[in-house]
Amino acid sequence: MNKFWKALGIAALAAAVPVRYKKDEATGKKKYQSLLLSVDVTPNEDSQSTSIGVNIGDGLLTNAVSGLVSSKKETVHFADDDPEAAVVPDVIDFAQAAAEQAQFADDEAQAAADEAQAAADVAQEAVEEAQAAQEAGEEDFDPEM
């Protein structure tokens, strides 16, 4: 039970202690923001009384979280130049494009491997011809001449 009261006390402090203060000089409106809520103090026209408004969920912490979530959702809908760029393509299109790129890379790697094998075959034939020419040259060599 003691932990419950501690948690309740911390929540009350987060809700009640002002963290940010803003004042509008033109209207005289003051806004006190805590982590979880905000309080607006606006003087009435008769300057004798004030109007107080409490906004639950309009604190610094809740604004930061909601701003983060909404900015991530909205960024995909904006385009700088092309209006069609704002259209979000399906995930299938991305997967298909990735598969095509992978297939192209695989084809390129296979072509490079085939070229390397052909060059190795040509080099092997040249080595065999050189060995055959060397052996033929030693047999035909006559030291008495």
Q: What is the pLDDT of residue 109?
A: 87
Is the pLDDT assigned to residue 87 strictly greater than 60?
no
Torsion angles phi and psi, residue 40, rounded to 5? -105, 125
The mean pLDDT value of the chain amounts to 77
Please give the Cα distance from 31 to 79 (Å, whole number): 35
Q: What pLDDT is stored for residue 138 in this prediction?
A: 57
- 93-118 mean pLDDT: 85
Q: What are phi and psi of 89, to 5 degrees?
A: -75, 160
User: Residue 58 and residue 47: Cα distance in Å, rounded?
Assistant: 27
**pLDDT one-digit tens code per residue, 108-142:** 888 888 988 988 888 888 888 888 877 766 555 56
Single-letter residue type at 38: S
C-alpha to C-alpha distances, 144 to 17, 134, 137, 138, 140, nearest whole angstrom: 114, 19, 15, 14, 12
pLDDT at 106: 86
pTM over 0.75: no
pLDDT score of 36: 77
Give yes or no for residue 74 having a pLDDT over 60: no
97-108: average pLDDT: 85
Distance CA 89, CA 94 (A): 8
Assess contact for 38 and 55: CB atoms under 8 A: yes
